[in-house]
Amino acid sequence: MKRSYVVLPLLALLSFVPAPRPYRTPPATVTMAKAKLQDKIKGGWAGQVIGVTFGGPTEFRFNGTMINDYQPIPWYDGYIRKTMVENFGLYDDLYMDLTFVDVFEKKGLDAPVSEHANAFAKADYMLWHANQAGRYNILNGMEAPESGHWLNNPHADDIDFQIEADFSGLMAPGMPNTAVQIGDPIGHIMNYGDGWYGGVYVGALYALAFVSDDVNYVVREGLKTVPAQSTFYQCIADVIKWHDQYPNDWKRTWYEVQRKWSDDIGCPDGVFVPFNIDAKVNAAYIVLGLLYGQGDYTKTMQISTRAGQDSDCNPSSAGGILGTMLGYDNIPAYWKLGLKEAEDIDFKYTTMSLNDVYGIGMKHALQVIERSGGKVTGDQVTIAVQTPKPVRLEQSFTSHYPTEKRRVNKDLTDEYTADFEGNGFVVLGQATPKNQSNGRYESDFSYTMDVYVDGQKLETVTLPASFTRRRHELTWKYQLTPGKHTVRLKVQNPDKDYTLRLQELIVYSNKPTEIRY
* Residues in Cβ contact with 275 at an 8 Å cutoff, skipping those fewer than 6 apart: 60, 63, 264, 269, 309
CATH 1.10.4080.10 placement within the chain: 4-384
- CA angle in degrees (0–180, nearest 5) for 107-113-118: 80
- For residue 22, what pLDDT is reported? 67
- For residue 516, what pLDDT is reported? 87
Backbone angles phi, psi at 480, to 5 degrees: -75, 160
Alpha helix stretches (DSSP H) within 279-353: 279-293, 297-306, 313-326
Which of 217, 262, 216 shows the shortest CA–CA distance to 243?
216
Task: Decide which of 1.10.4080.10, 1.10.8.100, 1.10.645.10, 1.10.580.10 is the CATH code for 4-384.
Answer: 1.10.4080.10
* Residues in Cβ contact with 182 at an 8 Å cutoff, skipping those fewer than 6 apart: 167, 168, 171, 172, 203, 368
- For residue 21, what pLDDT is reported? 60
Using CA atoms, how far apart are residues 77 and 308, in angstroms rounded to an integer? 24
Task: Indicate the pTM of the whole model.
Answer: 0.95
User: DSSP label at 391?
Assistant: -
Task: Decide which of 3.40.309.10, 3.30.479.10, 3.20.20.70, 2.60.120.260 is the CATH code for 401-509.
Answer: 2.60.120.260
- For residue 86, what pLDDT is reported? 94
- For residue 24, what pLDDT is reported? 75
DSSP, residue by residue, 8-53: ------TT--PPP-------SEEEEEHHHHHHHHHHHHHHHHHHHH
- CA angle in degrees (0–180, nearest 5) for 22-26-27: 125
The helices-and-strands tally (H runs, E runs) of the chain is 16, 13
Q: What is the pLDDT along the chain (517 residues), one digit of tens a residue?
A: 333 334 333 333 334 445 556 677 888 999 999 999 999 999 999 999 999 999 999 999 999 999 999 999 999 999 999 999 999 889 998 999 999 999 999 999 999 999 999 999 999 999 999 999 999 999 999 999 999 999 999 999 999 999 999 999 999 999 999 999 999 999 999 999 999 999 999 999 999 999 999 999 999 999 999 999 999 999 999 999 999 999 999 999 999 999 999 999 999 999 999 999 999 999 999 999 999 999 999 999 999 999 999 999 999 999 999 999 999 999 999 999 999 999 999 999 999 999 999 999 999 999 999 999 999 999 999 999 999 999 999 999 999 999 999 999 999 999 999 999 999 999 999 999 998 766 789 999 999 999 999 999 999 999 999 999 999 999 999 999 999 999 999 999 999 999 999 999 999 999 999 888 9
- For residue 23, what pLDDT is reported? 72
CATH 2.60.120.260 placement within the chain: 401-509
